[in-house]
């Protein structure tokens, strides 16, 4: 397994130095949403829940709860690579974390995650602040199983 260093990410993704962190690509907070209802995931269908956007002015004050979040960065994962988004350690020290799925080879879009606030006193986040970093892992080669799902190109 090879984890791509920031210098390699800048070349691979054609991004500037201000977009990388010590071990990956900075993921910054674009928007936060409350879950409005249930979702469904079945063998042949899915229904995502509806969301209500929380307005950040520019600070978001969040009570303990799960939240759907969207990142600012539009990412294209090259074939032969996969990504893992890892929460910023300051977020964890505040009593919150981010859960994400694998960023598949061939995925492109403005990714999303689930922010969970565990701190009983809540937390405050400023819009556009870094909340995670995306680490790219080089696979043993390109794959014919690159991402072609419904979230490709999401904005």
pLDDT in tens, 85-118: 999 999 999 999 999 999 999 999 999 999 999 9
Q: Is 151 helix (H, G, I), strand (E, B) or coil?
A: coil
pLDDT in tens, 10-28: 999 999 999 999 999 999 9
pTM (two decimals): 0.92
Lookup: tokens for 150? 């419904």
DSSP symbol at 39 = -
Angle at 106 between CA 2 and CA 148, to 5 degrees: 140
Q: Is residue 88 part of a domain?
A: yes
Q: Is residue 148 part of a domain?
A: no
CB 29 within 8 A of CB 68: no
Q: Is residue 30 part of a domain?
A: yes
- Total domains, the chain: 1
Asked whether the predicted pLDDT for residue 153 surpasses 80, the reply is no
Residues spanned by the domain of 18: 2-37+48-138
CATH number of the domain within which 30 lies: 2.70.40.10
Cα 145 from Cα 58, distance rounded (Å): 40
């Amino acid at each position: 397994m090879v984890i791509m260093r920031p210098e390699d990410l800048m070349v691979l993704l054609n991004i500037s130095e201000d977009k990388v962190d010590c071990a990956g690509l900075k993921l910054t907070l674009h928007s936060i949403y409350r879950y409005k209802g249930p979702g469904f995931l079945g063998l042949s269908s899915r229904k995502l829940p509806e969301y209500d956007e929380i307005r950040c002015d520019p600070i978001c004050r969040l009570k303990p709860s799960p939240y759907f979040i969207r990142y600012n960065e539009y990412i294209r994962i090259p074939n032969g690579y996969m990504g893992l988004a890892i929460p910023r350690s300051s977020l964890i020290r505040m009593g919150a974390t981010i859960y994400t799925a694998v960023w598949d080879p061939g995925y492109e879009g403005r990714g999303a995650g689930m922010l969970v606030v565990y701190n009983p006193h809540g937390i405050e986040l400023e819009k556009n602040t870094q909340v995670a970093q995306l680490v790219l892992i080089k696979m043993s080669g390109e794959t014919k199983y690159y991402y072609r799902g419904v979230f490709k190109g999401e904005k």
